[in-house]
Amino acid sequence: MHKNLFYYIVSTVVITVCSTYEPSDVSGIEYDELKDSDITGDLELSSEEFAKPAPYSFQFNHKDNFGTVQHREENKNEDGVVRGSYGYRDSLGLYRHVSYVADADGFHAVLRTNEPGIGNKNSADVAVVAQSPSVYRHSSSQDSSNSDSDDYR
């Protein structure tokens, strides 16, 4: 009973304090003064700077304890063209690999897979390359002899 009363009192104090709190910074400027000020003056970009694509690149590869390998990589060049791929291969040998390009002509992808039920039916700007699943090959997560040879791209 005393524990519930303690939690009730603490909750009431916290709610009261939070509802009466008015934020201000340490320099003494009040919140109302800050919310109406223009803080974007120094951040303005020219239309040329704003329109210029910023190149980037990233990638990751991951293998979990069940033998599933996942990957993704993407890069964008100075012209704004984005190229990348992502996919996985599970411990049964089923895989999906998608390569794509996004450019001035739109988004174009190629799907390569051996997943059951996927046929060679292209859709929009996606090319599908479906293969029959391979024979079941169990690879133990303890088997590290071929951990680096799981690259299927």
Beta strands 106-113; 95-103: pairing state? antiparallel
Q: Let me know if residue 140 belongs to a domain.
A: no
> CA nearest 109: which of 86, 141, 75?
86
Q: Let me know if residue 3 belongs to a domain.
A: no
- Let me know: does 100 contact 85? Beta carbons within 8 Å: yes
pLDDT at 142: 46
Q: Let me know if residue 111 belongs to a domain.
A: yes
Q: Let me know if residue 150 belongs to a domain.
A: no
Mean pLDDT of 21-37: 57
Q: Let me know if residue 107 belongs to a domain.
A: yes
The answer on pLDDT for 15 being more than 50 is yes
pLDDT at 75: 96
* pTM for this entry: 0.53
CA distance 45 to 58: 26
Q: Let me know if residue 78 belongs to a domain.
A: yes
Question: Within its chain, how far is the Cα of 72 from the centroid?
Answer: 9
Q: Let me know if residue 37 belongs to a domain.
A: no
Question: Within its chain, how far is the Cα of 84 from the centroid?
Answer: 13
Q: Let me know if residue 104 belongs to a domain.
A: yes
Condensed to tens digits (0 to 9), the pLDDT of residues 113-126 reads: 998 888 777 676 67
Tokens 């008015």 found at? 22
State which residues form the domain around 105.
65-130
Looking at the structure of the chain, the number of domains it has is 1
